[in-house]
């Protein structure tokens, strides 16, 4: 006879596609996860995964079971939400996936404020140099710089944000774009740009990017040692030695979007968290951009 704990293990492996990746999420060792999957397959009487050196891929039986298990998971989550009275605050775990610029310079303070008002809440911030996969439940919700155009998802615009060229204040500051000739350019590793909205160096990188990283936070640290690059205005208060340059020649406007599972739209707990997150991010972007002005 199967129980929910068996389904929890099965879903984790189905989403992570490997025992080693699923194990930390389950707080088990990979060998234990493997034994649990073997036991589940024996109970079902059919293989649920095709095992290979590349990982665990679902069989047709496994795909059918995954869909039913995901529906049961959503129903269980809603049932748990019913037990959380509004006046008792939020509790449980919420994981947010976000690009690292947002994860480094906005989410820590915003989420800390939400958690302080809800002591029973555990907030996890997943910073990845790629789009977070919600269908595999890598996170409960994700912040993106482009709205997705596929999948069973809901999308809300959070806020616009601005970016400008920045350099050290004690360097030779340019008065025209031509003055940047020969100045090392800091930016993304070109073949690791995972969203077209992040490909914003344009002609500035015509001679290549001399200092590159897939992390916005690392790029900011690089700029502290020299060069020129495009920086989020909301990140500049964290680097007072940098200043914006050539603002009339280059000023970018981008947007953040909150993306959620369509199946979570009835979750009062996640809806309330999303409302607090939206309000907190809008206020924090406005506050930090005002400091950079």
Three-state SS string across 204-238, please? HHCCCCCEECCCHHHHHHHHCCCCEEEEEHHHHHH
231 has pLDDT over 90:
yes
Give the pLDDT of residue 116.
95
pTM: 0.74
Give the pLDDT of residue 202.
77
User: What domains are there in the chain, each with its CATH number?
Assistant: 4-82 (1.10.10.10), 89-159+255-292 (3.40.190.10), 161-253 (3.40.190.10)
Kindly state the average pLDDT of the residues 37-46.
88
Which pLDDT tens digit goes with each residue over 144-167? 999 988 778 899 999 999 999 999
CA distance 123 to 4: 24
Instruction: State both tokens at 110.
Output: 């915003």
- Beta-carbon contacts of 152 under 8 Å, excluding residues fewer than 6 positions away, are 261, 262, 263
Give the pLDDT of residue 234.
97
Give the pLDDT of residue 26.
86
Q: What average pLDDT does the structure give for the chain?
A: 88
In the chain, DSSP assigns E strands to: 49-52, 55-58, 92-98, 121-127, 141-144, 153-168, 185-187, 211-212, 228-232, 242-245, 251-261
């Amino acid at each position: 006879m199967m129980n929910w704990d068996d389904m929890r293990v099965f879903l984790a492996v189905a989403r992570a596609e490997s025992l080693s990746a699923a194990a930390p999420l389950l707080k088990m060792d990979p060998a234990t996860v493997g034994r649990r999957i073997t036991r589940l397959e024996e109970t079902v009487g059919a293989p649920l995964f095709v095992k290979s050196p590349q990982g665990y891929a679902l069989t047709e039986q496994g795909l059918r079971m995954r869909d039913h298990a995901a529906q049961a998971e959503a129903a269980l989550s809603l049932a748990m939400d019913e037990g959380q009275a509004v006046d008792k605050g939020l509790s449980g775990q919420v994981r947010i996936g976000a690009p690292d610029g947002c994860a480094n310079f906005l989410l820590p303070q915003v989420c800390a404020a939400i958690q302080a008002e809800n002591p029973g809440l555990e907030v996890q911030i997943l910073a990845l140099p790629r789009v977070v996969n919600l269908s595999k439940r890598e996170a409960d919700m994700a912040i993106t710089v482009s709205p997705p155009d596929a999948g069973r998802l809901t999308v809300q615009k959070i806020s616009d944000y601005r970016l400008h060229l920045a350099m050290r204040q004690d360097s030779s500051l340019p008065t025209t774009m031509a003055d940047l000739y020969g100045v090392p350019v800091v930016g993304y590793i070109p073949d690791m740009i995972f969203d077209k909205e992040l490909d914003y160096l344009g002609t500035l990188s015509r001679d290549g990017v001399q200092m590159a990283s897939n992390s916005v936070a690392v790029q900011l640290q690089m700029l502290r040692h020299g060069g020129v690059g495009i920086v989020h205005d909301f990140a500049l208060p964290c680097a007072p030695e940098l200043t914006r340059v050539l603002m009339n020649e280059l000023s970018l406007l981008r947007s953040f979007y909150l993306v959620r599972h369509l199946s979570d739209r009835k979750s009062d707990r996640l809806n309330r968290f999303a409302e607090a997150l939206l309000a907190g991010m809008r206020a924090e972007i406005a506050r930090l951009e005002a400091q950079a002005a």
